[in-house]
C-alpha cells in the first residue's frame, strides 16, 4: 500500500499562515562537547599553573609572591568548578532525555 504524503495545507486554519521563514542552524554552532572540552582544557591549564606557582613559591623563587600563588589557585578553583558545572548540566540534560516516557 502507498502512504499518501502530507501535503500543505494540512488544515484550513494553517493555510492562512504565511511569512514563516525557516531558521537555519548556524554552521559553527558551539556544541556542548566542544565547550566542555575547552572548559576542561582551561581547568587543566589553570590547575597546572597553580601547582607550578606553589612549587616556585616553595622553592623560594623571588618572582613568585604570596598573592600570586593564592590567585593562581583561586583561578584554578573557578575554572574547575566551571568545568564541573558544565559536566553536571550535561549529565542532567542526558538523564532528563533518558527518562522521557515513550
Select the span of 2-10, 53-61, 70-78, 93-101 touching other proteins (CB under 8 A).
70-78
Which residue in the set 22, 25, 59, 67 belongs to the binding site for other proteins (CB under 8 A)? 67
Select the span of 2-10, 19-27, 53-61, 67-75 touching other proteins (CB under 8 A).
67-75
Q: Does 74 bind other proteins (CB under 8 A)?
A: yes
Q: Does 71 bind other proteins (CB under 8 A)?
A: yes
- Alpha-helical segments (H) within the chain: 32-59, 66-98
d(CA 73, CA 93): 30
d(CA 36, CA 13): 44
Select the span of 1-9, 12-20, 54-62, 77-85 touching other proteins (CB under 8 A).
77-85
Among candidates 64, 46, 68, 48, which has minimal Cα distance to 56? 64
Q: Does 49 bind other proteins (CB under 8 A)?
A: no
Q: Does 54 bind other proteins (CB under 8 A)?
A: no
Which burial class, exposed, middle or buried, applies to 31 when counting CB atoms under 10 A from its CB (0-12, 13-18, 19+)? Answer: exposed
Grid cell in block for residue 3: 502512504
- Contact set with other proteins (CB under 8 A): 38-39, 42, 65, 67-68, 71, 74-75, 78-79, 81-82, 85, 89
Amino acid at each position: 500500500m502507498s502512504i499518501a504524503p502530507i501535503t500543505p495545507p494540512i488544515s484550513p486554519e494553517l493555510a492562512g499562515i504565511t511569512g514563516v521563514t525557516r531558521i537555519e542552524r548556524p554552521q559553527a554552532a558551539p556544541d556542548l562537547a566542544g565547550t566542555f572540552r575547552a572548559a576542561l582544557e582551561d581547568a587543566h591549564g589553570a590547575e597546572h599553573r597553580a601547582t607550578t606557582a606553589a612549587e616556585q613559591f616553595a622553592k623560594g623563587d623571588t618572582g613568585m609572591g604570596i598573592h600570586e600563588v593564592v590567585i593562581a589557585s583561586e583561578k584554578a578553583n573557578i575554572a574547575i568548578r566551571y568545568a564541573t558545572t558544565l559536566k553536571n548540566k550535561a549529565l542532567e540534560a542526558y538523564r532528563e532525555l533518558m527518562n522521557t516516557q515513550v
